Amino acid sequence: MLILISFIYFSYLIIKLYISYNEIRFVKNALFLKPQILDEKEYKKAGKYKIINEKFNTIKTFFDYALFLMWISWGLKFLEKNLIKEDSILESVTFLLIVLFINYLFTIPFDLYATFKKEIEITTIDKKTYILDQVKSLGLTVIFGTVLFFTIIWIMKNLPSWWIWGFLVMFSITIFINMIYPTIIAPIFNKFTPLEDKELNSNIEKLLSRVKLKSDGVFVVDASKRDKRLNAYFGGLGNSKRVVLYDTLLNTLSVDELLAVLGHELGHFVHKDIVKNIFASGSILFIMFAIFGNLPDTFFSSLNLSSSSHMTIVMFFLLSPIILFLWMPIFGAMSRKNEYKADEYGAKSQSKEALKSALLKLAKENSSFPLSHHLSIIFYHTHPPLVDRVKRLMQ
């Protein structure tokens, strides 16, 4: 079984490498051609950034594979031998938190490089903010992880067909976290201040009222303390929406462009994309619980592992990237279709030109290369490449 699982993971690695190889070759070739959409300097910079990114991800993929082999060949056995004495829920939860923590420790060097080195021209974060972010995310992971693991392990030990109940709990917690994210979790990391510009405020109100939504306040978030990326989003369920604008967006876009971007986001609401996304994530989560909830005992015994609740959850963590990878072409296709429709809506609510120039500024500030190899698009893109979006917009 060890050989079979390693082989499956290895095939996943090879496919990922093949996609990256194609993407790098594609971008290198594209850089020889006439710049598309962006001006020459931006185009070259975005291309260079894309290639660095792909190479970085390739190294990370190899590293993840090594970490996976470490866990599956002896790490899990070693930890279980030293930690699990009575097979209590508390021991199992501790086991899972330690596995997560060790994985986290191993990924720190990559994260440091990605934050302070690789994205040197995009990130603006200072060391203090970075360390505070890490401490806060660790704290939140421990709190939510403990609650989640306790509940799921209790269910596993006490209920028949536990995976159905486990799925329902996990799905509810995911929805709950999404609900409290804009008002409780996001403010832990960023400062939200009400938008002072009265005119823009009333323009946003007007935009919302056209689709019978109310504003629950327009806030500016200090995203520029981390990087230069531009973004805006709507939060909250029901008819009143909390509108969040990145300060980077406010500083870079004109009023027309900003309203076009909000029009795009509003398009997602009008087309019920948020609900569709929740359903899509729910269905893959259900499939994953169905798989891991029905792993035969021989699966674990042939790996020399116990078929315990904590081992089942660890397998879920270790193998879910492969399932998500196979799922991505379906989810990505749906998402890219929704993006085109949201663009259409944004263009209608403001103007094609405003949305187009906003998209160009977004690409420039995010240093995103406007083209991509088709395999990369299929497996990784939730948004269509910029060239295609602009083309479709201008039809």
CB of 95 to Zn ion, least distance (A): 39
Give whole-number Cα distances, 162 to 153, 156, 157, 169, 307, in Å: 9, 5, 8, 11, 14
Strands 240-246 and 214-221: parallel
Q: What residues contact residue 235 under an 8 Å CB cut-off, 6+ apart?
A: 181, 182, 183, 241, 242, 244
CB of 384 to Zn ion, least distance (A): 10
Label residue 377 exposed, middle or buried (CB < 10 Å: 0-12, 13-18, 19+): buried
Q: Which is nearer to Zn ion, 227 or 339 (CB)?
A: 339
CB of 340 to Zn ion, least distance (A): 10
For residues 382 and 306, what is the distance between their CA atoms, to the nearest angstrom? 38
Q: Which is nearer to Zn ion, 228 or 268 (CB)?
A: 268
Residue 244 phi/psi, 5-degree rounding, is -120, 125
Q: Which is nearer to Zn ion, 306 or 357 (CB)?
A: 357
CB of 328 to Zn ion, least distance (A): 17
170: amino acid identity, one letter: M
For residues 381 and 369, what is the distance between their CA atoms, to the nearest angstrom? 12
Q: Would you tell me which residues interact with Zn ion (CB under 5 A)?
A: 339, 342
Q: Which is nearer to Zn ion, 44 or 392 (CB)?
A: 392
Q: Which is nearer to Zn ion, 318 or 342 (CB)?
A: 342
Q: Which is nearer to Zn ion, 266 or 342 (CB)?
A: 342
Q: Which residue is nearest to Zn ion (CB)?
A: 342
CB of 346 to Zn ion, least distance (A): 9
For residues 187 and 109, what is the distance between their CA atoms, to the nearest angstrom? 27
CB of 50 to Zn ion, least distance (A): 20
